[in-house]
Structure 1
Amino acid sequence: MDRVSPRVARGMMWIALGLIVLIRLLNGITHHRGGCALALTMLPYPPLVALLWRPWPRRLRYGLVVVVTGLAALPFQVVGTDWDWIPWTVGAALLVALPGRAATALFLGLLGAVLAGGLLEHDGAVDAISRATATVNDALIVFSLYSLAGMIRDLNAAQGELARLAALRERLRLDSELRTIVGGGLRAIGELLSPGGPEGVRDAAERARRTLTGIREAAAEYRTEGVAADRPGPRSPRITWLVLLGVLCMQGLARTAAVASADPAQLPVILPIVATIIVLYLVPHFRFRLLLIALLTFPLAWPGSYLVPTWGLVDGMWGFFIGLALVRLRPPASLAVVAGVLCLHVVLWVTPPPVLPPVQIGSGLVSDLILGGLVYSMTRLGELVAVLERARHELAEEAVTKERVRIARDLHDVLGFSLSAVALRGELALRLLDRDPERAEAELASLRELVGRSAAELDSITDGRIRLRLAEEIDTARQVLEAAGVMVETLVDTGPLDRETDTALAAVLRESVTNVLRHSRARECAITVVTDGGLVRLTIANDGVPPPVAAQRDGTGLDSLAARTGGRLTASPRPGGRYELVAEFESDPAPLGGDADGVDAVAGA
């Protein structure tokens, strides 16, 4: 059911509209209306179809309502009241085109005009109620199906909108949180480095390590912390319940009025049964309601009508049973029930005498199909609206989770290295303060620049637009490794690189250098970046890898980067305690800030 397209939903509306038009024609023929009256009766339908065709601008909608109303009143000027005047087209146009309160007020005014017109024509109570019931039912059927089709269209069109907004809200929330955790730490580090004395540098290095711990804890929390579910239950929109209640009550009122007119003594029998049937239709989870409605409805009308003819008037509720059977049963059982009910209805109309004319029998069968189609369409389309609404919230939850995981990865892959470098180079500057003040001052200046760059990287993480530069990362890697006592050799022969390739290579280099510092006692490290056959290859080789570690690659940061940027990565130990990592990228990899398929977490935000 969740795969029903808006086109199918609107198709249900057009089918209902066509059946209503057909039954109005059959009723006109049954009452021997002339050809002129029948033709005039059809005039309001084209502008009504135009009104239902699409959501027009307000002025055009109001203009079409005026046209429908004028054409619905035109037959009075030509043939007087000698036609089947049920102005349901005006009611449908009012409900579709006008705002809720205005539409309701004018629709009630229309019903008052229908009843007043009946009184002026000296209609009996049954005829007046029948005309009002037909006006309400037909207008509500078209309006409800139009509204549900519009809901489905809008929900399909906006399936990803709630997800984008939820991810953006989560991004802004995490941005505020990270600015407190990380941004505050970076500002404190910068302030501690400003004087340049031993105490300030030592405190800055220590603050960098604490901030790095906070980053790792935040990243772990973002990966593991569940997203609070805030989604509505799978409930159909209120309009489905209200319209079904309205049509059921109108049909029950018409049946009860007919019984009261024909044989008032049968009201104590008919009224409780009709009321019970209406209640059963509105209790969706009652297990045996289909069977109970059948037991209450069918024996009373047939063969009960042979005993008391007025009991046969309950057959007007059979159409609802058809719709409920289509909802609760699967083909071919549901189709067999529908065919059986229609055949039984024909039997009821031809026995006992008098036999109804074929046109009237056809009109009754169409009425059954309209009511059955209403129950089926309203139920299924209402369920679909609920499913689509639930899916929107599930997509939003998924988008929030992806956004949290993305930020956690970028914290680890991008900002973790920067804070490690700040701590390491801070310690180096501290050692140089007494031995080589000039070099120490150069290290402090470079360190302040690195802190500033880390703050910019924090902004790029939270806004989903990571931008790293390979040339800068190679310089930073050399400085950090040399600060740790590692001799570095570099070779870069690539020519100009596009932005995404440049960022991907820089990110892998940054993570690799972090691993060299954390998992080895390297004294030598070679970094090579070359192009080969349309690929860009980054190779990092180092020594000082202990034998237990040489057999496996610890951590998942590089695997994560390779998967997210579409690269290929291999890493393996070499003889003599050496280790080599090779990463290859095509000229246009996926962006670092998005998913592996290159779709950014919040497209266009």
Structure 2
Amino acid sequence: MATRPQKARKLLLLWMDSAMALQAVVFVVVIVQHALNGRIGALQAAVALAGQLGFFGLFPFLLSEAYDARPRPTLKLLIAGVCTAVAMLIVPNHSADMPTWLAASALWLSTAALYLPLIATVCLSVVVVGLVSGYVVLVTGAAWPGVLIPEVFSTVLTIGCMLLWRWIWWAIRDAHDGKEAKARLAVSEERLRFARDLHDLLGHSLSVITLKSELAAKLATKDEARAAAEMAEVRHLAAESLAEVRLAVDGYRTLDLDEELSGVRAALEAAGARCVIDARAEDLSPTARTLLAWAVREGATNVLKHSKAERCTITIDGGVLEMRNDGVNGRSSVPGNGLHGLSERLVTAGGSFSAEPTPTGEFVLRAAVPT
């Protein structure tokens, strides 16, 4: 399923490709009008049309590659410039697609250096705009201001818009990547914290147990009473360590329902699925809220891993959780290990669980906990 940044990229590219397609139609109409009015011959019109179609045919590929990375100028960019130059030489007044080519060049001239893209774009634009304006003035006899000012304005506006739109896409992409990196970092930090806590809990106890066990083994043949006392102490330390570990694990197993709902909403919406939550669980016991939090987490994981949902609703009322999503893929649904484990957890606690697709094309997870 496409993520929200991927959808944003497709929308931006579709928007600009549609604008270029409309511009291509206008330019083709202009060339045809010149041919019908006898200003250019049929062969010239065919060459101009071929140049225009070549440029606008290459432009979507140039744009897509420029949005994916920071490419270097290649043969495609040169061919696109030749195509638009051919059309301009045949129809001098038809030079409005030169700013578009300059905008594509600005995207492709991006490098790691800070000011090099700006300097290269400005220099290239000055040269191209100057040559184009001079050629139009020379051939048509038009006044310099009437040609140069529109060319400069169109070039600056087109390049600025192209760079701005790509910058917006890169900002969206970097924000999404940063969010994923933050989530991975949080998981890693939690693992480190768990490992550190276990070391603090068991390191000292196990060291003492090891020493006392060695001492008891040495005393077994010399002082049976003292050896028995040492082994009793070992058993006591082992029981204390086991209790501490169980207490620590229970602490890790305790989930906060409100935090889980907030996290699930963020995860689902980041994946492109609208999440609507209606939760009334203030009167539930801490145990019931923890069970529902586990059900919410596993249900959201199931949506993210096994569906292409665009909408998910989460309702909690009176100890009953219902999660609905519209991402049923049409295949027979077999509960995975996560849902099976959740079912066992709820049934053991005295609740109930079900997860199945509906005839209306939804997947519904229901979990009830004792109140």
TM-score with structure 2 length normalisation?
0.48
- TM-score, length-scaled by structure 1: 0.32
